[in-house]
């Protein structure tokens, strides 16, 4: 990155799927990375791979845990602050997914805690470490805006995240706050959502990464974007 200040990104849920695909792309471009995931072994594998290209700090833990968020915030400060925070970590809930009238409320509370409250809590935790003009990317889903039967838990938690993101952007015009829908992907979570289906026809997460990179490096205003549509638009 000749002539360019080092850039630092914190990506949650970066041991597999979209988070790891994005981390790989940023590592190739020389970004300093802070990554987390609930599974320590998979996260260590990701760290070992990514560290061949860039500086990586990997911190295993659950974003719903306050002490873990503090550790991430401390790492961000030690790195000199964040240019980007990507709230990618989330949980699906039961598989197969129950309808809302039968949804266990304790499980629903955990989904909301992880998918909606934890991203906001992490933004609050790293607030002092956000560089001027920092970008916050909250990964959402079309299930946040479409009433798919059986997606009441996950979808409504993402809808809450979307509204939190929109209000955060309105309250903080100095920041860029993005909600991005990566689209259907061939990931473990998507397979869990459709346990009896063959999802091999879904695009790999790598196909959604260029749209995310456009948000991180381009000049788009705060708002909601679809990753693959954004990629096609930028090419056009």
Q: Where are the alpha helices (DSSP H) in the chain?
A: 17-28, 40-50, 66-78, 105-112, 118-125, 152-171, 188-193, 209-217, 227-235
Residue 2 domain-assigned (yes or no): no
pTM above 0.95, yes or no: no
Residue 3 domain-assigned (yes or no): no
**Is 130 strand, coil or helix?**
strand
> Comparing C-alpha atoms, which of 151, 121, 186, 25 is closest to residue 138?
121
In this structure, what token pair is assigned to residue 56? 């990586």
Residues with Cβ within 8 Å of residue 196, at least 6 apart in sequence: 96
What does the pLDDT look like over 58-70, one tens digit per residue? Answer: 999 999 999 999 9
CATH of the domain at 150: 3.40.50.720
Structural domain boundaries enclosing 189 = 8-235
Query: Which whole number is the average pLDDT over 224-231?
Result: 87
Residue 41 domain-assigned (yes or no): yes
- Residue 236 confidence (pLDDT): 42
Residue 221 domain-assigned (yes or no): yes
Residue 159 domain-assigned (yes or no): yes
Residue 227 domain-assigned (yes or no): yes
Residue 1 domain-assigned (yes or no): no
Give the whole-number percent of the chain exceeding pLDDT 70: 87
Report the half-sphere exposure of 214 (CA within 13 A, side-chain side): 22
- Residue 201 confidence (pLDDT): 64
In Å, how far from its chain's centre is CA 80? 21
User: Using CA atoms, how far apart are residues 193 and 148, in angstroms rounded to an integer?
Assistant: 12
Q: pLDDT averaged over the chain?
A: 90
**Least confident segment among 119-128, 152-161, 203-212:** 203-212
Longest dimension (CA), the chain: 57
What does the pLDDT look like over 14-24, one tens digit per residue? Answer: 999 999 999 99
- Residue 178 phi, psi (nearest 5): -115, 140
Residue 217 domain-assigned (yes or no): yes
pLDDT at position 146 over 90? yes
Total of domains in the chain: 1
User: Using CA atoms, how far apart are residues 181 and 117, in angstroms rounded to an integer?
Assistant: 18
């Amino acid at each position: 990155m000749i002539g360019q200040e080092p850039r630092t990104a914190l990506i949650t849920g970066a041991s597999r799927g979209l988070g790891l695909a994005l981390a790989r792309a940023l590592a190739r471009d020389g970004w300093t990375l802070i990554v987390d995931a609930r599974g320590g072994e998979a996260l260590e594998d990701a760290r070992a791979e990514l560290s061949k290209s860039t500086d990586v700090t990997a911190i295993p833990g659950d974003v719903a845990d306050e002490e873990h968020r503090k550790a991430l915030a401390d790492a961000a400060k030690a790195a000199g602050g964040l240019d980007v925070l990507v709230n990618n970590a989330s949980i699906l809930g039961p598989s197969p997914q129950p309808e809302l009238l039968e949804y266990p409320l304790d499980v629903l509370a955990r989904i909301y805690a992880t998918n909606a409250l934890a991203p906001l809590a992490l933004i609050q935790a790293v607030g002092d470490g956000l560089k001027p003009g920092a970008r916050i990317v909250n990964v959402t889903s079309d299930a946040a805006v479409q009433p798919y039967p059986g997606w009441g838990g996950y979808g409504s938690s993402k809808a809450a995240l979307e509204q939190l993101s929109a209000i955060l952007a309105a309250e903080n015009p100095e920041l860029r706050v993005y909600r991005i829908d990566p689209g259907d992907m061939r990931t473990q979570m998507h397979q869990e959502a459709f346990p009896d289906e063959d999802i091999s026809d879904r695009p790999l997460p790598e196909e959604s990464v260029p749209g995310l990179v456009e948000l991180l490096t381009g000049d788009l205003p705060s708002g909601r974007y679809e990753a693959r549509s954004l990629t096609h638009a930028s090419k056009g």
